[in-house]
Amino acid sequence: MKGEPTQTLVQRLCAGDEKEGYAALKELLERSRTGREVSLYWEELAALLGSANSYRRTRGALLLLQNARWAEEEQLERWTPRLLALLQEEERATALRQYLRAWEGAARDVPALAGPLCRVLEGLDFGRYGESMAPLLQRDRERLLSALQREGDERDG
C-alpha cells in the first residue's frame, strides 16, 4: 500500500475485503501524522460516517479525527456533531475505545473541540457494554478527561 496514491487508498477503505480496507486505514493514518494530503479527502471520509458498515464508519471517524488539525472551520462545524454522536451510538466497545483515543489527539490539535467533547464524555453511560468492557471504557474516559484538563491548564497557565 505504501507508494499508492492517497485517492486509491481512500477508495480502498470501502473495499469488500475488510483486510484491504484495514490496510488502507493504517497507511492513511500514517500519512495523516506527517502531512495534510489525506485531509483533502475530508468529504469522502465524512461520507463513511453514514455507512451501515461499522468498520467503515470507524475508519472514517478515525481518519477525520486524525486530520482535524488540517480541517477548515466549516468542516469541523459541520461534522463535529456527527463525530460526537458516534461516541453515544457505537455498539462495539472496541470501536468506542478507538474513538476515545482518537478524540484525544483531535482535541489536542484543535482545542475548540475540547469543550463539546467533555460535555459528551460526562454524559456517556457504559452500562450496555457489560461487566468486562464497561470498566475499561470508564478508565479510557477518565484518562481522556484528565488529558483534556492538563491541556487546558497548560494553555491557560
* DSSP symbols for 77-133: HHHHHHHHHHHHH---HHHHHHHHHHHHHHHHHSGGGHHHHHHHHHH---GGGHHHH
Question: What whole-number distance in Å separates Cα of residue 24 and Cα of residue 29?
Answer: 9
3-class secondary-structure state, position 36? coil
Q: For residues 141 and 100, what is the distance between their CA atoms, to the nearest angstrom?
A: 7
- Specify whether domain 6-156 bears CATH 1.25.10.10: yes
Domain-wise residue ranges, the chain: 6-156
What is the mean pLDDT for each group of 10 consecutive residues in the chain (157 residues)?
A: 91 89 96 96 96 94 97 95 95 94 95 95 94 96 93 71
Compute how many other C-beta atoms are within 10 angstroms of the C-beta atom of residue 139: 12
Output the pTM of the full model: 0.93
